[in-house]
Amino acid sequence: ADEAGPHDEL
Amino acid sequence: MNVFRLTGDLSHLAAIIILLLKIWKSRSCAGISGKSQILFAIVFTTRYLDLLTSFISLYNTSMKLIYVGCAYATVYLIYVKFRATYDGNHDSFRVEFLIVPVGGLAVLINHSFAPLEILWTFSIYLESVAILPQLFMISKTGEAETITTHYLFCLGLYRALYLFNWVWRFYFEGFFDMIAIVAGLVQTVLYCDFFYLYVTKVLKGKKLSLPA
């Protein structure tokens, strides 16, 4: 998937 | 979570701690670019605003708090506590040449035109170039303390490990984030010259000094 957050990486 | 992601995060953490300890123990921030450290504080602040809106895991939340806390502590040490040792004359990179284009790019190319998402994108783009004032400073003075090179190595290694993490996640989870991947590639490439010097000089016990 290439989409907006939430982002789980730091 | 995979091994590349975890070691990447730990490498990032190591870099941050090495820098804080170096400044604290030597009571000096000589050779450290305060501008790069301000940029990293901006990066963490704009990226981790989602601490207020979404919970991912205890690991995620605590690492974010540690990173952002350490970033501000580093800026405080450089610009307040050990200000007398800050080498401002050699820290002359013009950061507006990074912030303005990066801000424009974040508005133009993002996953979603929402405030938090644009700030996240801005932080990803800014992180990829935030080390430039530090590298510029080293090229200007022609040398770096060995402990500073360990810091830079860990910091560069972290994004390189994230590249492997993204390959892993694409292969096993079908997950990819093009913005993070492209910025991460740029970020890693910027360290390549330094990696070469680190391996050929510092790891052989020599100080990192550039030919005049």
| Contact status of B111 with chain A (Cβ, < 8 Å) | yes
**Alpha carbon distance B77, B97 (integer Å):** 25
Whether pLDDT at A1 is above 70: no
CA distance, residue B178 to nearest chain A CA (Å): 7
HEC secondary structure over B169-180: HHHHHCCCCHHH
Beta carbons of B60 and A6 less than 8 Å apart: no
ipTM above 0.85, yes or no: yes
Q: Output the CA torsion sign for B128, B133, B135, B139.
A: positive
Q: Across the interface, which of A2, A4, A7 has its CB nearest the CB of B114?
A: A4
Q: Which residues of A touch B116 (CB under 8 A)?
A: 5
Q: Which pLDDT tens digit goes with each residue over B153-165?
A: 999 999 999 999 9
**Res. B113 pLDDT band, cuts 50 70 90:** very high
Quick one: closest CA in A to B173, which residue? A1
**Nearest by Cα to B45 from B65, B15, B74:** B65
List C-alpha distances in Å: B60 to B9, B105, B141, B181: 10, 27, 38, 20
Q: Which residues of B touch A6 (CB under 8 A)?
A: 50, 53-54, 56
Q: Which pLDDT tens digit goes with each residue over B44-55?
A: 999 999 999 999
Ordered by start, the domain boundaries in chain B are: 3-201
Q: Across the interface, which of A1, A2, A6 has its CB nearest the CB of B50?
A: A6
Confidence at residue B153, expressed as pLDDT on a 0 to 100 scale: 98
Task: Pick B132 or A1 by higher pLDDT.
Answer: B132
Confidence at residue B211, expressed as pLDDT on a 0 to 100 scale: 81
Residue B109 DSSP one-character state: S
